[in-house]
Structure 1
Amino acid sequence: MKSNLLSNIFNPAHLRLLEEEQLPQVAQELRQFIIDVVSVKEGHLGASLGVIELTIALHYVFNTPEDLLVWDVGHQAYGHKILTERRENFHTNRQIGGISGFPKRSESSYDAFGVGHSSTSISAALGMAIASQLKGETDKQHIAVIGDASIASGMAFEGLNHAGVTDANILVILNDNAIGIDPSVGALKKYLTAVKNGKNPKQNNMIKSLNFDYSGPIDGHDLPALVKELNRLKKIKGPKFLHIVTTKGKGLQQAEENQVVYHAPGKFDAATGEIHLKSEENLPPKYQDVFGLTVLDLAKKNNKIIGITPAMPSGSSLKFMMEEIPERAFDVGIAEQHAVTLAAGMATQGMVVFCNIYSTFLQRAYDQVIHDVALQNLPVIFCLDRAGLVGEDGATHHGVFDIAYLRLIPNMIIYAPMNEIALQNILYTAQLGLENPIAIRYPRGRGVLPNWQVANFGHYEPIEIGAANQLKEGSKVAVLSTGTIGNNVALAIKECSNADDIAHYDFSFIKPLDYKVLNYTFSSFKEIITVEDGTISGGFGSAILEFAAANNFSNKITILGVPDAFIEHGTVSQLQQLCKLDVKSLVNLFSNH
């Protein structure tokens, strides 16, 4: 019986003590270790299973952490974490107080660069390589591992373009599996497919044209071939590019066959791969599905409606429109800047464009929002999924900055629905013909109305732009909330012994604000409390403070929201407790006023 090798590998130095013939056994054990833990603890699965052999080969051949290894996005870095002193803590992955689901510099010296968003690896590794060159560290290696979906992004090409005119010691490894979270799209995917199939002549190689020493494509699951090629490339100076072909989910049949679902499958049976399905009976819908189904319904009635998403058709639920009206629904790949300006171009021609981008990813297209949309006052409809605290993905993915970074842009309308019906109605209102761009922000996860389709689907009501709503009367304190966190506020007020003292207003419109209601509340209540699931700095509460200052109100104002710090990973409920936005914390606060 073979002894377990993985249990004796604490770090890559231990891995390098093994004979090369032992590495396939390590790969088998590492793959099973990830399956066993993720099946119970949840997390990203398919991406890491696909790079097991590559991960082992990289740490076996290169002298990490002295040689610098940068993973793009980081979904695929579980094997890397386990081999780099985190095997015993891996069960805490993505849990509050545990290790991060992504590479993180403060967590380990082996994590050369913190990641979570795509297409940063080449620029980061090139920066490291040039710095090493300037310091005279000529033998130091700098490796960027990037997927075929991420390399199609503009930033990746910016890095390649610069690297090709340097003599920096950088190795770019293209992990080509034809899928990111959803299947890869675009002309570059077709080109890479042609290369893999031997249909593209080597002299026509676009990577070689950028002055890289190109090799491949090779089988990314062939450990001896990987070790041999990496040892060869280690001796070559200057920019190098290795093209490997892998299978996402390798080693778990279901993950190989259903790569979208097994990107992050939730809990599953480690032996069979069967996902433990949760009953969705009588549950409220996911906000993404409210968006996706509503936009599809609206698009069937309005042939000017177009849907755009950068690489998130499943996550945004634009897939519903892509399946039924594919000529008017576009997955543009990991290209947020392009998505925004594409939408702007369409808007100039009278199209009604729903541009669905996760809140944290719209940050990557900030100039385009300002310069290409708002400056020209084009009525693009931004649908910001995953707004607020998103949970286990942590600091790189929380959508907590959008209120602050959008509020300062002229012409921009910002709306945060309190529930599914409000989301449907604002989507309907937006396509009627707004004169300004609008950002509609809504959270990850489920809503609050199990019978939303029965109650309202297809029967929409227009929303008055800028209007706030009084949800509850009160005599002493006015609580102003925006978005779905208002449901926590409503529940908390009900539990307060002084509930009669507390009025509640829903400010779904963060911009423009309802000045009529604000003047009334500041004139009628001694104390104002604002509640949001965005940053306190520059957010909705800041807007209320600005109003008070401009109008010489001196009421006591308390602002609740996400503090001026990067919030780490944990469940949404745990993070709400941390930020004192959960029902219990709100009850304690309201009861003392």
Structure 2
Amino acid sequence: MSILETIASPADLRQHSMAELTTLAAEIRTALLTKLSATGGHVGPNLGDVELTIAWHYVFDSPHDKIIWDVSHQSYTHKLLTGRKQAFLDPKHYHDVTGFTEPRESPHDFFTIGHTSTSIGLASGLALARDAAGTHDHITAVIGDGALSGGLAYEALNNAAVLNHQLLIVVNDNQWSIAENHGGLYQNLKLLRDTFGQAANNGFKALGLDYTYEANGNDVAAMIAAFQAAKACDHPLVLHVNTQKGRGFAPALANEEAFHWHAPFHLSDGSALHPATGENYPDIILAALERQLQTGKPIYTINAAIPGGFHLKDWQAAHPDRYIDVGIAEQMSITLAAGMVKGGLRPVVFEAATFLQRAYDQLSHDLGINALPVVVLVRGGQITGGDPTHQADLDAGMLSNIPNLTYLAPTGKEELIAMLDWALAQPHGPIAIRIPAGPVTSAPLAADWSATHQHVIHHGQQVALMAVGSLLPLAQQVAAGLLAHHIDATLIDPRSLNTLDTAGLEQLRSAHHLVVTFEENSLDGGFGQKVAAYFGPSNMAVLTLGAKREFNHELTRQALLQADQLTPETATQAILAALSQL
């Protein structure tokens, strides 16, 4: 019998010797790699903190004692040890648990977390609640060195320093964020590693926190001793731990960034099971920026620790002096760009739709109020299922309602390039461009192309279909389906998510009774509501098709599209039903 088979709960760890726990760590890595090679997921972070997690659960009493994982993408071993190992050992149950902590799954999880730099603040709040209740549970926050670059981590450290009772802050230092770390903080972390925590220059102590260092974060016995010592501490303590991202899997060690999160792969060599082929939007964008740069435009690219999703390492290699990675700090990426464009540069900021909400204040104040022509490229904006922490249909409602900011939604590569060129030339305000979801599509630009005027692809009557961005193919299928019902629908590419072409809308009144909008966004605050509000005082009926304003915990993307009437069949039936009511 393997050691892993004997572990039903964390308490079972204490029945094993140090040698057996070391064997357990190896068994866990094998289980993780077997599952992740089939399903994809966060590989490197979880391989790196196996011993740390075993040791914490050996020393502390979960869930009475509480551990909060920053981002929680490194909590797979924690899940495996807290009654959910079947989801890592049985392929039939691989999808029973999420990739992040989830209180719905287990009393050992306390928050649904999928974004960064929050663990210290959350743990501080739990510690204050514990002290108010007069209980004696131990509170631990585990934060990666990459997450320390987020502003909230600094705020939380500053406040944690003045807590009067126990709080353990574990800095899991594997020298990596998603990609390599950037910023002055990491010079100090390196100094502390090089001096085994003895350097006089210590940023944590400068904030008023107690500090200790453990160099052997991938040694179970060393980590148990470190946690036992920390458990005796009655005040806030930083335990700085040196670990190895991707430990135990050579491909992950050879390419830490690629294996931060990886699609299904071959265990033998780490190569992708389903490698991407053909054209892609990141390369199309970089080629357009290269062309702009060669004309003399002072282009700079900025991103917040996610270069891989935009192929920005290629740009960095070609133009290292025109590439800036601010770390996990979306707020800084926007405010930095505001300062740069005010000084005459033309920064292009690359953001993920699901992370950009962290910079809402900067988008509104620094860009919107000042009407600064920063260009923001937004990746991943679409209806997504099964993970509310990375839900990507909320960006349009956020960006579309900031004054002076225009949010464009190209339908394919020609529009994307044209919109990017226009955005970099105009001086009037911030332009966000939603990179189309899905494979690259191509269609010639209309002769009357304009970034802020809708394009009528086909002139029909009775029904007008307005499809935003990557939903144009769906609207085309619906238009074909309506022909079977003797309805020749008008088909329109709105081009903008938030700037209505009122002249174009007015032209619809004479020959149409129903306008239908399609969008991969939450309907509340989205494009369809703006169209409906415009036609509100008239006899024009408007049917809005899009996502509900809710967090999606379980449903898959396909199930959500079905429920939101965004499949050819459901959309067609919704339109026919709406027409029958007129």
Q: Which amino acid in structure 2 is aligned with residue 471 of structure 1? A: I
Cα distance in 2 for partners of 1:274, 1:362 equals 31
Match of 1:377 in 2: 371
Q: Encode CA deviations 1:390-416: one digit per residue, 9 max, x unaligned.
A: 456x21112211211122211111101
Cα distance in 2 for partners of 1:477, 1:462 equals 23
Q: Which amino acid in structure 2 is aligned with residue 85 of structure 1? A: G
Q: Which amino acid in structure 2 is aligned with residue 22 of structure 1? A: E
Is this contact kept in 1: 2:35–2:94, CA < 8 A?
A: no
Match of 1:580 in 2: 565
- Tell me the secondary structure at the aligned position of residue 176 of structure 2: coil
The alignment's C-alpha RMSD in Å is 2.4
1:518 equivalent in alignment to 2:516: no
Cα distance in 1 for partners of 2:516, 2:120 equals 46
**Structure 1's 487 and 526: CA in aligned 2 closer, same or farther, altered over 3 A?**
same
Match of 2:521 in 1: 534
Is this contact kept in 1: 2:31–2:89, CA < 8 A?
A: no
- Tell me the secondary structure at the aligned position of residue 151 of structure 1: helix
1:480 equivalent in alignment to 2:466: yes
Structure 2 counterparts to residues 37-186 of structure 1, below 5 A: 37-90=35-88, 98-137=96-135, 139-186=136-183
Q: Encode CA deviations 1:68-106: one digit per residue, 9 max, x unaligned.
A: 111111221111111112111347999997421111222
Is this contact kept in 2: 1:126–1:170, CA < 8 A?
A: yes
Structure 1 residue 568, shift from structure 2 partner: 3.0
Structure 2 counterparts to residues 130-529 of structure 1, below 5 A: 130-137=128-135, 139-198=136-195, 201-270=198-267, 272-278=268-274, 280-281=276-277, 283=278, 285-390=279-384, 394-449=387-442, 463-496=449-482, 497-498=484-485, 500-529=487-516
Q: Encode CA deviations 1:480-516: one digit per residue, 9 max, x unaligned.
A: 1111112222133224423743221111112321001
Structure 1 residue 578, shift from structure 2 partner: 4.1
**Structure 1's 94 and 432: CA in aligned 2 closer, same or farther, altered over 3 A?**
farther
**Structure 1's 444 and 517: CA in aligned 2 closer, same or farther, altered over 3 A?**
closer
Fraction of identical pairs, as percent: 31
Is this contact kept in 2: 1:143–1:171, CA < 8 A?
A: yes
Gaps of 5+ in 2: none
Is this contact kept in 2: 1:94–1:569, CA < 8 A?
A: no
- Tell me the secondary structure at the aligned position of residue 501 of structure 1: coil
**Structure 1's 64 and 198: CA in aligned 2 closer, same or farther, altered over 3 A?**
same
**Structure 1's 87 and 187: CA in aligned 2 closer, same or farther, altered over 3 A?**
same
* Structure-2-length-normalised TM-score: 0.94
Is this contact kept in 2: 1:295–1:321, CA < 8 A?
A: no
Cα distance in 1 for partners of 2:82, 2:491 equals 51
Cα distance in 2 for partners of 1:397, 1:103 equals 13
Structure 1 residue 280, shift from structure 2 partner: 4.5
Cα distance in 2 for partners of 1:96, 1:539 equals 35
Cα distance in 2 for partners of 1:81, 1:411 equals 46
Structure 1 residue 191, shift from structure 2 partner: 1.7
Q: Which moved more, 1:101-110 or 1:568-577?
A: 568-577
- Tell me the secondary structure at the aligned position of residue 227 of structure 2: helix
Cα distance in 2 for partners of 1:389, 1:519 equals 30
Q: Encode CA deviations 1:242-282: one digit per residue, 9 max, x unaligned.
A: 11111111111111111111222222233x2432353555x
Structure 1 residue 436, shift from structure 2 partner: 1.2
* Structure-1-length-normalised TM-score: 0.92
- Tell me the secondary structure at the aligned position of residue 331 of structure 2: helix
Q: Which amino acid in structure 1 is aligned with residue 55 of structure 2? A: A
Match of 1:559 in 2: 544
Cα distance in 1 for partners of 2:460, 2:92 equals 41
Q: How many residues align?
A: 577
Cα distance in 2 for partners of 1:109, 1:397 equals 22
Q: Which amino acid in structure 1 is aligned with residue 332 of structure 2? A: H
Cα distance in 1 for partners of 2:138, 2:417 equals 52
- Tell me the secondary structure at the aligned position of residue 263 of structure 1: coil
- Tell me the secondary structure at the aligned position of residue 479 of structure 1: strand
